[in-house]
Structure 1
Amino acid sequence: MKAEECKLSSVFTGTKTYEIPSYQRPYSWVESNTQDLINDTLEAFEAEDSEYFIGSIIAIEKERDHRFEITDGQQRLTTLVIILAKLRDLIISSDAKQSLQGRIMPINALTGAPEKPRLYVRDQDKQFFIDHILAGKPIVDKSDLPVTQLRFLTNSLIVEKHLQHFDQKKLCFYANYLLENIYVVFVKTENFQSAYRLFNVLNARGMSLSNADLIKNKLFAITPVDQDHEQIKDKWDELEELISIPNLDVFFSHYRTSITGDRQRVDLNKEYENYLDTFESDSITFLNQLISSAKKYNRIKENKFDDAFTRRILSSLHRVSHDEWIPPLLCFMKYITDTKELNNFLQYLERVTYQNWVRRLGKTQRNTVYYNVINLINRGGTVKEIIDKIKEYANNEEFLNFISADVYGAQYATAILLRLEQELQDTSVTKTYEGTISIEHILPQKLSDQYWQERFSEIEHKNLIHKLGNLTLLSGRKNSAAQNYSFAKKKEIYNSKNRLVSFDLTKEVCGIEDYTKLVLEERHKKLLKLAGEIWSIN
Structure 2
Amino acid sequence: MKAEEKKILKFLTGDENFIIPVYQRNYEWTEKQCKQLFDDLILINKNNYQTYFLGTIVVYKDDYGKDFLIIDGQQRLTTISILLLAIYNILNEGNIKSEEIEKEKILEFYLINKFQKDKNKQIKLQSVEKDKKAFFGIFEEEFINNSKITENYIFFKNKILENKINIDNLYKSIEKLVIVEIILKRGEDDPQLIFESLNSTGLDLSEGDKIRNFLLMKQKPEKQEELYKNYWFKIEENTKLNGSEVYKLSAFFRDYLTMKQRKIPNEKNIYFDFKEYFKKNSFEIEEILKDLLKNSKNYSKIINSNDDNKEISEILKRLNKLEILVSYPFLLELYNDYEKNYFTKKEFIEILLIIESFVFRRFICNLPTASLNKIFNILGKEIKSFIDYKENYFEIFKYVLLNKTGKGKFPKNEEFKNNFLIKDVYNTKKKNYYLLERLENFEQKESYVSSMIENKDLSIEHIMPQKLNENWKKDLGENYEEIHQKYLNTIGNLTLTGYNGKYSNKSFEEKKNIEKGFNKSPLYLNQYIKTCEKWTEKEIKERMNFLIEKSLKIWKYPKTDYEEQKDIFKFFTLADKYNFKGKKIDYFIFEDKKYSVNNWANFYEKIIKKLYNENSFLMKSFPNDEKLKSGFFDNKKNGDTCKKIDNNLYIEIGTNTERKIYFLKIIFDKLNIDLNKLKFYLK
Q: Which TM-score band applies after superposition, normalised by the shorter structure?
A: 0.7 to 0.9
Contact 2:85–2:111 (CA<8 Å) still a contact in 1? no
Which of residues 397, 410, 414 in structure 1 aligns to 2:433?
414
> Residue 312 and residue 105 in structure 1: after superposition, are their counterparts in 2 closer, same or farther (change >3 A)?
closer
SS of alignment partner, residue 15 of structure 1: coil
How far off is 1:319 after superposition?
1.3
Contact 2:55–2:179 (CA<8 Å) still a contact in 1? yes
How far off is 1:455 after superposition?
4.0
How far off is 1:507 after superposition?
4.5
Code of the aligned partner of 1:386: F
How far off is 1:387 after superposition?
1.7
Contact 2:305–2:313 (CA<8 Å) still a contact in 1? yes
Q: Counterparts in 2 of 1:325-474, with a 5 A limit?
A: 325-337=327-339, 338-377=344-383, 381=389, 382-391=393-402, 392=404, 393-396=409-412, 397-405=414-422, 406-411=424-429, 412-426=431-445, 432-433=450-451, 434-436=454-456, 437-448=458-469, 450=471, 453-457=474-478, 458=480, 459-474=482-497
How far off is 1:21 after superposition?
0.9
Contact 2:330–2:379 (CA<8 Å) still a contact in 1? yes
2:668 alignment partner in structure 1: none
TM-score, with structure 1 as normaliser: 0.87
Q: Counterparts in 2 of 1:111-510, with a 5 A limit?
A: 116-132=122-138, 135=139, 137=141, 139=143, 142=145, 145=146, 150-166=147-163, 170-179=166-175, 181-191=176-186, 194-203=190-199, 207-221=203-217, 225=220, 228-234=223-229, 235-244=231-240, 246-265=247-266, 267-305=269-307, 307-337=309-339, 338-377=344-383, 381=389, 382-391=393-402, 392=404, 393-396=409-412, 397-405=414-422, 406-411=424-429, 412-426=431-445, 432-433=450-451, 434-436=454-456, 437-448=458-469, 450=471, 453-457=474-478, 458=480, 459-475=482-498, 478-493=499-514, 495=516, 501=521, 503-510=523-530
Provide, for residues 88-134 of structure 1, a one-character-per-residue CA deviation record: whole Å limited to 9, x for no partner. Answer: 2344337643232234434969x9x99811211113332321122xx
SS of alignment partner, residue 409 of structure 1: coil
Contact 2:27–2:131 (CA<8 Å) still a contact in 1? no
Code of the aligned partner of 1:120: Q
> Residue 268 and residue 115 in structure 1: after superposition, are their counterparts in 2 closer, same or farther (change >3 A)?
closer
- If each structure's helix is expressed as a fraction of its own residues, which one has the higher value? 1
SS of alignment partner, residue 445 of structure 1: coil
Greater CA deviation, 48-57 or 205-214? 205-214
Q: Distance in 2 between matches of 1:403 and 1:535?
A: 12
> Residue 191 and residue 496 in structure 1: after superposition, are their counterparts in 2 closer, same or farther (change >3 A)?
farther
2:37 alignment partner in structure 1: 37
Q: Distance in 1 between matches of 2:291 and 2:500?
A: 48
Confirm whether residue 17 of structure 1 aligns to residue 17 of structure 2.
yes
Q: Distance in 2 between matches of 1:220 and 1:402?
A: 53
Greater CA deviation, 244-253 or 93-102? 93-102
Q: Which runs of 5+ in 1 are unaligned?
A: none
2:582 alignment partner in structure 1: none
Q: Distance in 1 between matches of 2:270 and 2:367?
A: 25
Contact 2:491–2:544 (CA<8 Å) still a contact in 1? yes
> Residue 212 and residue 161 in structure 1: after superposition, are their counterparts in 2 closer, same or farther (change >3 A)?
same
Code of the aligned partner of 1:166: N
Provide, for residues 508-536 of structure 1, a one-character-per-residue CA deviation record: whole Å limited to 9, x for no partner. Answer: 43344443432221001111222233335
2:4 alignment partner in structure 1: 4
How far off is 1:259 after superposition?
2.0
> Residue 313 and residue 512 in structure 1: after superposition, are their counterparts in 2 closer, same or farther (change >3 A)?
farther
Q: Distance in 2 between matches of 1:361 and 1:31?
A: 46
Contact 1:494–1:501 (CA<8 Å) still a contact in 2? no
SS of alignment partner, residue 247 of structure 2: helix
How far off is 1:59 after superposition?
0.8
How far off is 1:58 after superposition?
0.9
2:97 alignment partner in structure 1: 93
Q: Which runs of 5+ in 2 are unaligned?
A: 241-245, 559-683
How far off is 1:473 after superposition?
1.3
> Residue 93 and residue 416 in structure 1: after superposition, are their counterparts in 2 closer, same or farther (change >3 A)?
same
Provide, for residues 457-484 of structure 1, a one-character-per-residue CA deviation record: whole Å limited to 9, x for no partner. Answer: 4232332222210100134xx2514311
Identity %: 24
Q: Distance in 1 between matches of 2:45 and 2:67?
A: 30
Q: CA RMSD in A?
A: 3.1
Code of the aligned partner of 2:77: L
Greater CA deviation, 346-355 or 159-168? 159-168
Q: Distance in 1 between matches of 2:321 and 2:249?
A: 21
TM-score, with structure 2 as normaliser: 0.70
Q: Distance in 2 between matches of 1:321 and 1:334?
A: 22
2:588 alignment partner in structure 1: none
Code of the aligned partner of 2:11: V
Code of the aligned partner of 2:411: N
Q: Which has the higher contact order (CA 8 A, sep 6+)?
A: 1
> Residue 106 and residue 274 in structure 1: after superposition, are their counterparts in 2 closer, same or farther (change >3 A)?
closer
Contact 1:18–1:68 (CA<8 Å) still a contact in 2? yes
Greater CA deviation, 464-473 or 59-68? 59-68
Contact 2:383–2:396 (CA<8 Å) still a contact in 1? no
Greater CA deviation, 384-393 or 47-56? 384-393
Confirm whether residue 535 of structure 1 aligns to residue 535 of structure 2.
no
